[in-house]
Chains A and B, each alone.
Chain A
Amino acid sequence: MFQDRIWYELRIMGIWVILIPPLTILTFVLLGLMLTIMQVDHLRISQVFTASLEMVLPLSAGLLTASIVSYDTAIELQLTMPKTYRLTTFFRLGLIIVWTSCIALFSSVFMYHLRFWRVPSQVETWKVLPQFIIGQLTWIAPLLWLVGVGFSLALCIRNRSASSALLGGIWMIEAIFYGYFAFTDWLKPLFLFPTTLDPTMSFWLSNRIVLLVTASVLLLLDWFLLRNTEILLQGITIED
């Protein structure tokens, strides 16, 4: 039943949920190849590959979450099922996160091996295995954070367009105004892309942990927000 369930949920979410993460990595691989041929600086190419894991994959997962997970064409039926809609929604969320994580982990193996991985200075001196394992926080933290924020926005605002727009705006601000995040004390814990943009920062580990904790809090909040079936039902009618 579990495999059947996974199959159906993926069918319902659509083929692009499966295709987007590998296509993203493939695009960056091609870009990396092109930059190598152009003899661009190795550090810059590493930055590009790190960005694919830390910035782009989490963005795509967050936008997919904001758009799909909180919207269902058969929601009224779903709300009457013994397998509650809360579980169904988190199941779908879990699929997006697990699939994106598999792609990220698989890609990181090659990036690390080929030394196209930007290692944060805080873990530079660590041994290979712990460095690689902890290094996965590079993408896990922003992935869960953007998914949590995307999901929360979609449930609170009850509008897919607005939540996607806000998530895109937040991403843009984090990418362009990263200097503020790197040097303003109260913003440091919310710095999403330090590995790509400023790997020398001294608070990388604590930043990753805070992001994970924030993401957990948001997802817990979402779990409780999904209890309100009346609001979920209303969400469809106010979509436009």
Chain B
Amino acid sequence: MMNITINHLDKTYRGGIHAINNVTITIGSGMFGLLGPNGAGKTTLIRILTGILRPTNGMLQIGEYNVNSEEGRKAIRHILGYLPQDFGVYPDLSAREFLDYIGILKGLSDRTGRQRRVEELLEIVSLTPVSNRKLKTFSAGMKRRIGIAQALLNDPKLLIVDEPTAGLDPEERIRFRNLLSDLGGNRTIILSTHIVEDIAQTCQKLAIMKGGHIIFQGTVSDLLNKAQGKVWIVTTQGIKPEGNITVMSTLHLSGSVQHRVVGELTNYTGAILTEPNLEDSYVWQMHEQRLPIQVNTL
């Protein structure tokens, strides 16, 4: 089991941009979700965890390794599997060649063993039929699958995936989530995303980031409890409900309009309290931080 301890972590870029402010989290084994809007600092935190960036201040311990030191960062690379948000590939290599090459970079020196591992992973991500095709012919979903395959080459103890399902169709997204869930066990998996549903389907524990700060840390149940009593179904004749609320969805029925809202709704006749889901809880959490969240109605 490997714990990640982050204490008072700061990251300030040149130009005085504070990407991360005083972040303190503890992450245990299993799936951990890192949720937040775009620009929250998730990717910066991820890059610090992977050793690409160095924190301005603070302490970061991954298992027995102190990531503040060069030795610690080097050691982490041997146990790390990483799928970046901007996952770049070498377009003229085939899927098999790309995985083989990354395997070499990960230190898998035995050719037979490495190739066997590549075939296993191609099978796991269901890309064996297209393994000889060049990566430039791959769709976004297929590239993401190759991305997860390369992250697993060295059977990492720490797997970090940054926005893995962005741009994928629903079927690909479900396949990806299932794949990640299967990988849990003794591994620590950090899933960084702005898509609440990804967290809801896979993670027991999560943290929410906003503006470089951690605004929530705990279990999914804790987050759901926070929004208890704050989620309503309001039926109107077409007028949007007003007040200190966020409209989550609007459903046009015959003769009326049903709104799902999150917030403090008092003195509104016909409003029905309902069980919050994770998205509602997330929006409520953001609402509590008093920064506007736009939720598009379909």
Contacts and interface: CB of A to CB of B under 8 A. Distances in A.
Are A and B in contact, CB atoms below 8 Å, in the complex? yes
Interface of A: 1, 4-5, 8, 11-12, 14, 72-84, 88, 229-230, 233
A77 B102 contact: yes
B88 A75 contact: yes
Given A1-B111, A73-B90, A230-B54, A81 B105 contact: yes
Contacts of A88: 105
Contacts, number: 79
B17 to A, nearest CB: 12
- Secondary structure dominating the interface of B: loop
A1 B105 CA distance: 10
Nearest to B87: A77
Contact of A82 (B53, B77, B89, B91): B77
B104 A74 contact: no
Nearest to A9: B101
B147 to A, nearest CB: 9
Contacts of B192: none
Contacts of B74: 82, 84
B106 interface: yes
A229 B105 contact: no
A4 B88 contact: no
Interface in B159-183: none
A33 to B, nearest CB: 35
B210 to A, nearest CB: 23
B109 A74 contact: no
29 contacts: A1-B111, A4-B101, A4-B111, A5-B104, A11-B90, A11-B93, A12-B92, A12-B101, A73-B88, A73-B90, A73-B91, A75-B88, A76-B84, A76-B86, A77-B87, A77-B102, A80-B51, A80-B82, A81-B105, A81-B106, A82-B74, A82-B107, A83-B104, A83-B107, A84-B74, A229-B51, A230-B52, A230-B53, A233-B52
B106 A83 contact: yes
Contacts of B150: 77
Contacts of A12: 90, 92-93, 101
Given A4-B104, A82-B107, A229 B88 contact: no
B80 interface: yes
Nearest to A3: B111
Given A73-B88, A73-B91, A77-B84, A83 B105 contact: yes
Contacts of B92: 11-12, 14
Interface string B96-117: 0100111011110101000000
A236 to B, nearest CB: 9
Contact of B88 (A14, A77, A81, A83): A77
Nearest to A237: B86
Interface in B39-60: 47, 50-54
Interface residues of B, number: 31
Contacts of A229: 51-53
Contact of B109 (A1, A81, A84): A1
Given A5-B104, A11-B93, A80 B88 contact: no
B52 A80 contact: yes
Nearest to A73: B88
B240 interface: no
Given A12-B93, A82-B107, A77 B100 contact: no
Contacts of A81: 77, 102, 105-106
A74 B107 contact: no
A141 to B, nearest CB: 33
A14 B91 CA distance: 11
B78 interface: yes
Contact of A78 (B54, B86, B105, B109): B105
A1 B53 CA distance: 29
A11 B80 contact: no
A84 B51 CA distance: 12
A76 B88 contact: yes
A189 to B, nearest CB: 36
B77 A74 contact: no
A12 B51 CA distance: 24
A4 B101 CA distance: 8
B80 A80 contact: yes
A81 B78 CA distance: 8
Contact of B78 (A14, A72, A73, A82): A82
B111 A80 contact: no
Contact of A76 (B52, B93, B105): B52
B88 A74 contact: yes
Contacts of B80: 80
A173 to B, nearest CB: 33
A72 B86 CA distance: 13
Most buried by B among A77, A78, A230: A77
A80 B50 contact: yes
